Amino acid sequence: NAGVTQTPKFRVLKTGQSMTLLCAQDMNHEYMYWYRQDPGMGLRLIHYSVGEGTTAKGEVPDGYNVSRLKKQNFLLGLESAAPSQTSVYFCASTEYPGELFFGEGSRLTVL
Amino acid sequence: QQQVKQSPQSLIVQKGGISIINCAYENTAFDYFPWYQQFPGKGPALLIAIRPDVSEKKEGRFTISFNKSAKQFSLHIMDSQPGDSATYFCAASINSGNTPLVFGKGTRLSVIA
């Protein structure tokens, strides 16, 4: 099993550009999450989904949008990238809240 | 508002020593307390977890101690090894609901020979 797969793994953007991060899980999990990790800040929740077609805001949702059109996929979009969005992004999924399975991360640099 | 406070931010331990990382929480509705381990360049992975109906849980060299009245829990790594060098995150959630995990800010552990 691949588990949780994130694409792309690395990306460099210029300020104002847009992009989408894709998260795919093959465990048939209901819950999916997007976190960002910054030095000294831990893991901060951006958006999450409790099932296909649902999304909810987390701790730091501004500047990001998400969609969960298919149960196995959770997309994170940046409409107009800013340098403050330079970070490592992690997607995670779980069958029930608590035991998360994480992807290996997507490192984004915004110049 | 940070709901889970983790300390220390970084920790250096001699090989064979005991590593101790502490966390405190505020929300008394939390009923699930996991610890995640993250190696450089990888995503976090569940290490061990505890529920508040027990005061201690042990898995190999890793032990969680839980103090419900103090709203604190800690991770002890016995006989620490260089391979344990990683970032450790405590977390908490209300497991019966749809509320996501709340993470501490992490502790970077370095085990030196």
Q: Please tell me the predicted confidence (pLDDT) of residue A1.
A: 61
Q: Please tell me the predicted confidence (pLDDT) of residue A62.
A: 97
Confidence of residue A103 (pLDDT cuts 50, 70, 90): very high
* Inter-chain CB proximity B34 and A92 less than 8 Å: no
- pLDDT tens for each residue of A53-84: 999 999 999 999 999 999 999 999 999 999 99
DSSP code string of A43-77:
EEEEEEESSTT--EE-SS-TT-EEE-SSTTEEEEE
Q: Please tell me the predicted confidence (pLDDT) of residue A98.
A: 67
The CA-atom distances, in angstroms, between B106 and each of A109, B23, B53 are 22, 10, 25
Phi, psi at B2, each rounded to 5°: -80, 125
Which positions 37-76 of A are in contact with B (Cβ < 8 Å)? 40-45, 48, 50, 58
Facing B106 at nearest CB: one of A4, A42, A96: A42
Termini Cα distance of chain A: 36
B60 contacts: CB under 8 Å, gap ≥ 6 = none
Q: Could you tell me what percent of chain B has a pLDDT over 70?
A: 96
Q: Please tell me the predicted confidence (pLDDT) of residue A43.
A: 94
Q: Please tell me the predicted confidence (pLDDT) of residue B2.
A: 55
DSSP code string of B41-86:
TS--EEEEEE-TT-SEEEETTEEEEEETTTTEEEEEESS--GGG-E
Contact of A34 with A74, CB cutoff 8 Å: yes
Q: How far is CA B77 from the centre of its chain?
A: 10
Closest chain A residue by Cα to residue B41: A104
Check whether A97 has a pLDDT greater than 70: no
Of A28-32, B89-93, B97-101, the poorest mean pLDDT is in: B97-101
Facing A98 at nearest CB: one of B95, B105, B106: B95
Range B68-77 average pLDDT: 96
Nearest to A91 by CA among A76, A70, A108, A110: A76
Mean pLDDT of chain A: 95
- pLDDT tens for each residue of B39-69: 999 999 999 999 989 999 999 999 999 999 9
**Chain A closest-CA separation from residue B9 CA (Å):** 8
Check whether A94 has a pLDDT greater than 90: yes
CA gyration radius, chain B: 13
Cα angle value B98/B102/B108 (rounded, 5°): 150
